[in-house]
A and B are shown apart, each in its own frame.
Chain A
Amino acid sequence: MTKNNLSTIEDELEELTFLNDVNIFIAEYIPFGSNHIIAFNEELDSLGAVEGGLLTSLIDKEPKKTTFLVEEELTNVIVRKFDPNDFIQFEAMITYENVGDIEQEECFAVHVDASGRVIYGCELKKLVEKTEMHSLDNISRVIADLVADSSQMMMNLLSTYQRRLLELVYFDRPLNRNKFIMITAKSIVPDEDASFYVREAGYRNELNQIINQVYKSTNLSDGGKCFFGSEGLILISEHPEKYEEILAVIGFFQGLDIFQKNYFSKMFMLWDEVRDARKKIDESGYDPNAITEAQTILSRVSAAVVLMNELLQFMQTATEVIVEEFNKLKPLSDVQAELAAFVELEDVLDKATIRIKDASLIVAGLKDEIQGVNGLVATLSERQMRMMNEALKDSITSMDEMTRSSERTGVALNILEVVLSGAIAFDVLVFLVGDYQWDALSIWVGEHPLVWAFIAITAFIVTGYGILKLIRYLEEKSEPNLRISLKLGSRYDKEKLDAYLKSKPIKQQQMVVRLGSKIHEYIWDDEDTDKWLGNEPNITLYVDITNKILLTINVDIDSPKNIATTQASEIILKELIEAKVIPEESQQFLE
């Protein structure tokens, strides 16, 4: 093996502390219950005839195909022991791609039980080609790898509900979650008094790399040592197995502690979000989107609070189970009692329950707060609705007034039009007779004045009627005759849409920003009369660019010639499909 595939570390490590016969245990709390264990056993096919198999979180999205490709990482799992309701123990062989061609053979044990205690364990056989004297610097890299890979592996096995809970507590990044590290080793080099490693900065820094912030250290009565930090514990003993049962309890409570710290951070974040919703309400006087935004925040927080509440139940039950397990371990052996006293386990047990009760108060407070803010939003919405109703009423009254006024004006105008047409008719006659200068006619008119009057009135009626017909014809012609509106709501290909729009003579573009989306509106006239059967339509396209959804397309044709609405719909849809803006399946809109 060359140096290149031993390590990618660029730093020149100053290694001070070394361990021999290293076992690494990583503990975490994941909300589990008996039902989840039953599902977990099914997922791992615990009763299967042949041991082992590959697992993936992939979902079959093409049920009608014979074969499928898997491009994501796989986990090889072999179940070793299980109880249908209580626990499962399995080996996981990680086949994830290694970084920088580094050779890693990573196979670890996984213990999962109904309390939610998850412990990953492995014995370090070889590290950077060495079988002993493993430096803490290098071990810290192994731990980082194991922590990341174990998270990835578990995500493939957990239910959607559990994944959602982890996403909630770990701020949507559950793969980066921290866990409690427990290392056992048979010897440490240099072998000094436990206080030495904490006192000397260089050694303390190396311990901190593994267990975060080292709180305290002790020399154990069996000649070993123990270092306890905020996210880990290192136990040096000739016989580490004597401590294992108590380590399982410590691992659970420390894993739970890490989970609870993240839980509380999330809880305070939710409180801050409700505060933001309140702020939005204050802004509702001048910000038209404020109420909607406040409602969105409150819905999101409410959904989170429901899950936070359920988590409390999980944690409470889990704590009771492990306390019972701890009580069954009693009386503790001397070494177990010594370790339990060192990490103040009894105190941790008491505080875990107190913290859960405390958290339930905060959740209850948050629920009340949400209810209060929701009440405010409801009041404001109601007020806004009332104001809108009043405005609407005023508007209707005003419109009614305007309609009446318009009707009156219309009648007056019609009368004027008719009178005017009469005047035109008389003028035509005057034009014909030239100020009554046509003697024969003048004589005839003089002899038959009533007949002339009748002719004049008839001409007036005919001209008036003709003008009215002409006005109606012009009015009809000025209205859009064909309009289709296709509400597609279809996902689009951004690149293809950009290319499509580039080919169009866009004459108007607008953008409307709404909560969570930006709606772009494009308007153009399509001059391709061949395609539109001799017409020149006006086209309007609405696109939600945030969510990449083609919302609506409208086609308006003035004075349509030889085209029906179905043809217009077909033409525009075909054009979008041919330009590959929308998928071919969109053709179904026409069916």
Chain B
Amino acid sequence: MDGNVNSMNDISGKSAKEIAEELSDEQKMLLYLIGLYTKIDGEYGKQWLKDLSLKGLISKGIRDKIYDWDYAPASIMYRGSRKVINISQEGTNDLNYLRSIGLVARLRLGTSRHFYFNAFSVTEEGAKVISEIPQELRDKIDKFAHCKKCGKLYEVIPIDPEEIEEWDDYEELNPSKLSGFDSKNGGIFMVCHSCKIKINTRLDWIEAVSYTCVPRWLNVKMVSEYDLENHKEG
């Protein structure tokens, strides 16, 4: 990956075209995706994209092979409590890179449940760079983030298991056939209200691998130890 916050590029004095050329395809598509969700009346950066929605889009984007990133499960604060979800370290890294060179801005705000979350938007500089992103990359993101029936941008929202029944009249596109996975457990969904369509981003679907492990005690220096054998009769 090119994106590396530690080896931050100096973009001062560079044109938008030069900056765009220095970005990786993943970074360009990420910038464009944030741009799409923060655009009002053709103007970028007018609203903010919530962190959880972005995480959902990234998770879905990786599964759909839009982004060449990996993800792995991690326990994070999720809507006021803890939850294990898939986090893409590469995605986070590229997002941080875009922030570090001033193309994306982060806003931190509170919730009614007394927690803070992040939201992202493109800066003025970011909007200029978006105009230099090649059409083929834009097309990939446009196809991914817009409803195939009506062409509207999907809303990306959390649906709790308790309210999932209210969404029964929304058709679920590409439901997973994986054993053990059930959209009835809620999650982060891409939703088109006009066409009544929902797509589970499977952000909180923790994939499993086959493995075998045997017990292994860490050597703890306890003051007293009491051997079980001493207590056995016979």
Contact = CB atoms under 8 A, between A and B. Distances in A.
A binds B: yes
Contact of A128 (B68, B73, B210, B217): B210
A172 B81 CA distance: 7
Contact of A8 (B62, B89, B178): B178
Contact of B208 (A1, A141, A247): A141
A102 B206 CA distance: 13
Contacts of B70: 11, 13-14, 137, 205-206, 209
Given A98-B208, A104-B211, A122-B215, A141 B3 contact: no
Interface string B78-106: 00111110010110010000000000000
B222 A125 contact: no
Given A172-B81, A201-B4, A208-B89, A121 B218 contact: yes
B213 A244 contact: no
Contacts of B166: none
Contact of B217 (A11, A89, A178): A89
Interface in A393-434: none
Main secondary structure, interface of A, reads mixed
B231 interface: yes
A138 B209 contact: yes
Nearest to A175: B82
Contact of B179 (A11, A99, A105, A113): A99
A49 B233 contact: yes
Contact of A107 (B180, B213, B224): B213
B83 A173 contact: yes
A320 interface: no
A129 B210 contact: yes
B74 interface: yes
Interface stretch (A78-86, A152-160, A451-459, A579-587): A78-86
Given A46-B228, A86-B223, A205-B1, A108 B215 contact: yes
B173 interface: no
A518 to B, nearest CB: 16
Contacts of B222: 83, 86-87, 113, 325
Contacts of B72: 137, 140-141, 144, 209-210
Contact of B213 (A81, A105, A247): A105
B12 interface: no
Contact of A101 (B6, B179, B206, B216): B179
A109 B89 contact: no
A247 B179 CA distance: 38
A245 B180 CA distance: 40
A213 B227 CA distance: 40
Contact of A109 (B81, B209, B210, B217): B217
A503 B17 CA distance: 72
B114 interface: yes
A10 B1 contact: no
Nearest to A198: B6
Interface string B129-144: 0000000000000000
Interface in A209-223: 209-210, 212
Contacts of A272: 114
A13 B86 CA distance: 13
B82 A144 contact: no
Contacts of B228: 46, 79-82
A536 interface: no
A465 B90 CA distance: 100
A523 interface: no
Contacts of B232: 49
B81 A83 contact: no
A191 B188 CA distance: 39
Contact of B216 (A122, A204, A212): A122
Contact of A102 (B80, B81, B209, B219): B209
A142 B213 contact: yes
Contacts of B80: 171
B162 interface: no
Given A101-B179, A176-B81, A201-B1, A144 B73 contact: yes
A107 B216 CA distance: 9
A121 B225 contact: no
Name which of A98, A140, A272, A325 has the most chain B CB atoms within 10 A of its CB: A140
Interface in A289-336: 325, 328-329
Contacts of B220: 87, 111, 113, 117, 119, 244-245, 248
Interface string B191-214: 000000000000000111111111
Interface string A117-156: 1010111111111000000011011101111100000000
Given A87-B222, A244-B219, A269-B115, A10 B207 contact: yes
Contacts, number: 233
Given A86-B224, A123-B216, A47 B208 contact: no
A56 B181 CA distance: 25
A126 B225 contact: no
A103 B225 contact: no
Interface in A7-46: 7-14, 23-25, 46
Contacts of A521: none
A101 B180 CA distance: 8
A147 B210 CA distance: 16
Interface string B103-139: 0000000000111000000000000000000000000
Contact of A84 (B82, B114, B181, B226): B226
A91 B215 contact: yes
Nearest to B204: A176
Given A123-B214, A147-B75, A241 B219 contact: yes
Nearest to A270: B114
Nearest to B83: A176
Nearest to B74: A212
A18 B168 CA distance: 44
B215 to A, nearest CB: 4
Contact of A83 (B1, B75, B210, B224): B224
Contacts of A502: none
A337 interface: no
Nearest to B6: A199
A5 B217 CA distance: 29
A273 B115 CA distance: 12
A224 B62 CA distance: 34
A106 interface: yes
Nearest to B179: A100
9 contacts: A10-B63, A47-B231, A99-B180, A100-B207, A111-B217, A113-B222, A127-B210, A201-B4, A251-B218
Q: Which 8 A-B pairs have the closest CB atoms?
A: A109-B215, A144-B73, A205-B89, A171-B81, A209-B72, A272-B114, A178-B75, A122-B213
Given A81-B226, A201-B4, 20 more contacts: A8-B208, A10-B63, A10-B207, A11-B62, A25-B216, A49-B232, A81-B227, A82-B226, A83-B225, A99-B179, A99-B206, A100-B179, A127-B210, A144-B74, A145-B209, A148-B84, A148-B206, A176-B84, A212-B74, A245-B220
Interface of B: 1, 3-4, 6, 62-63, 65, 68, 70-75, 77, 80-84, 87, 89-90, 93, 113-115, 178-181, 206-228, 231-233
